[in-house]
Amino acid sequence: MCGRIAQFGPFREIVDLLTGWPSPYPEAEEAPPRYNLPPTAQARLLNVEGDDLVAQRVRWGWRPHWATDKPAPTNARAEKVAHGPFFRTIWPHRALCPIDGWFEWVNEGGPKKQPYFIRRQDGAPSFCASIGQYPGGGHEPSEHDGFVIITADSQGGMVDIHDRRPVVFAPDLAQEWLDPATPKERAEEMILQQGELSEVFEWFPVSKDVGNVRNDRPNLIEPINWRITP
């Protein structure tokens, strides 16, 4: 999964999709829509503190304090994240990164790779399984705060776009993922076996302008032809 996402849907409506959450949550912060959000930027995130579902903005990217010689990754592999030492301290701290879609770049033989935008066919947000270290929870905002999106192998036609994809949950599974009562073993099973299948998504080529992070406008997610591939 490449390092660009889009978050532009009303956050309040996104949070309301988690209808099974039993407790009130703080008012979701509305932020300017982002159509080309890169790593290290502040992304909208949902996590749990005590009995509350918390909506806040957190830096996309995280590394442990002892790994200062390594770049902060934005993604973590589902096959390794539960057991490897790099993410051990944040594996218990589950979150959701709700996105409207993400970008991948494909080599189609031209001088530059062709960007594609991938989104759910039904237009709903994608609840991406995430883990991280967040403001709150007993500590003040820190330079070490951040999160990563968990990824798995792509399936079906999506393999032609990229060999990895974010683990996206349907709303009922998203709620189970967030629930602190969900055992770690069950959480691992979810990211390995219960992410949304490629048939749920569609993808299409978009303007190469998305390659410049300074470009952040709605037409970046518009298809450059009318062939949308499910």
Domain harbouring 35, CATH code:
3.90.1680.10
Evaluate whether residue 228 is within a structural domain: no
pLDDT at residue 229 tops 80:
no
Residue 25's pLDDT is what? 54
SS3 205: strand
Evaluate whether residue 59 is within a structural domain: yes
Q: For 187-214, how does the pLDDT look when each residue is reduced to its tens digit (9 = 90+)?
A: 999 999 999 998 999 999 999 999 999 9
Evaluate whether residue 35 is within a structural domain: yes
CA 166/CA 143 separation, integer angstroms: 25
Residue 116's pLDDT is what? 94
Across the range 51-72, mean pLDDT stands at 88
* Residue 134 tokens, joined: 């967040």
Evaluate whether residue 196 is within a structural domain: yes
- Residues serving a catalytic function are 2, 104
* Alpha-carbon radius of gyration of the chain: 17
Residue 220's pLDDT is what? 97
Which of 47, 57, 61 has the alpha carbon at shortest distance from 137?
47
Q: For 98-118, how does the pLDDT look when each residue is reduced to its tens digit (9 = 90+)?
A: 999 999 999 887 788 999 999
The domain of 137 spans 5-221
Vertex 40, ends 37 and 46: CA angle to 5°? Answer: 75
Evaluate whether residue 175 is within a structural domain: yes
Evaluate whether residue 229 is within a structural domain: no
The distance between the two most distant Cα atoms of the chain, rounded to a whole number of Å, is 52
Residue 28's pLDDT is what? 55
User: Which one has a higher pLDDT value, 54 or 43?
Assistant: 43
Across the range 159-171, mean pLDDT stands at 85
Across the range 162-174, mean pLDDT stands at 91
CA 213/CA 39 separation, integer angstroms: 10
Q: For 133-150, how does the pLDDT look when each residue is reduced to its tens digit (9 = 90+)?
A: 998 755 667 788 999 999
Evaluate whether residue 227 is within a structural domain: no
Look at the chain and report how many structural domains it folds into: 1
Q: What are the b/e assignments for 155-176, b being 16+ CB within 10 Å?
A: eeebeebbebbbbbbbbebbbb
Residue 24's pLDDT is what? 44
Q: What is the mean pLDDT of the chain?
A: 88
Listed in sequence order, the residues at least 6 apart from 123 whose beta carbon sits closer than 8 Å to its beta carbon are none
Pairing state of beta strands 75-77 and 146-153?
parallel
pLDDT at residue 228 tops 70:
no
pLDDT at residue 71 tops 90:
no
Share of the chain above pLDDT 70, in %: 88
Evaluate whether residue 73 is within a structural domain: yes
Please give the DSSP secondary-structure letter assigned to residue 29: P
